[in-house]
A and B are shown apart, each in its own frame.
Chain A
């Protein structure tokens, strides 16, 4: 099946720092999604991207749908302790029907 390579696998940063993570694939995707999962919870949708080149913000979070349609980026500005969690990218490939492919996740830890 499709594969999404998400990096970095983990990050340990100081409160106030900006964070960047990305997902790449060898396949073309027509939808990119970013989820956050807090400990003991299910993932929650943060941002959805539906057009190549699209740049969307949700508070301190900004995500972009790569022009090549094979990658996506998530940035978090001025991190705070409650940003801790696992961030997943997910994509919908052209011939995947309505089945999402998930990246391996980026575990974010924030030091106050």
Chain B
């Protein structure tokens, strides 16, 4: 079945460590997104990519990095520079020919910094 796969679902990290969250989609979507979700807050955009080898910063990109070497994959690295990394991270994708709201989300990755 087509969809978006995020891994790992749960991740624990010590302070000072970088971690990479995986996002893979087999929907043949052009655009991919990373959002951060904190309790009681809406989803905030970290990075997005509309085409391979190109990506743009979202509203809260500081402390994060991404790459888009393949259409199917958009990994997110949470670096030690991110001051408050504990959160639920959601990856999404869409076909650029569809209305902007037609986002398909993965199941999320919950990162906890110890």
A residues sitting closer than 8 Å to B (CB atoms) are 1, 4, 6, 9, 31, 33, 40-45, 48, 50, 88, 90, 92, 98-105
Contact = CB atoms under 8 A, between A and B. Distances in A.
Interface string B40-52: 1111110010000
Nearest to A42: B105
Contact of A98 (B41, B44, B59, B100): B100
A19 B102 CA distance: 24
Size class of the contact patch on chain B: 20 to 34
Contacts, number: 59
A25 to B, nearest CB: 12
Contact of B59 (A1, A31, A44): A1
Report the 7 A-B pairs with minimum CB-CB distance, sorted nearest first: A42-B105, A102-B42, A33-B101, A102-B43, A98-B100, A48-B101, A104-B42
Contact of A4 (B42, B106, B108): B42
B103 interface: yes
Contacts of A102: 35, 42-44
B42 A88 contact: yes
A42 B107 contact: yes
Chain A interface helix/strand/loop/mixed = loop
Nearest to A50: B99
B90 interface: yes
B46 to A, nearest CB: 12
Given A41-B108, A42-B106, A100-B45, 19 more contacts: A31-B99, A33-B101, A41-B105, A42-B4, A42-B107, A43-B103, A48-B99, A88-B43, A90-B43, A92-B100, A99-B45, A99-B48, A100-B100, A100-B101, A100-B103, A101-B42, A102-B35, A104-B40, A104-B42
B58 interface: yes
Contact of A44 (B58, B99, B105, B108): B105
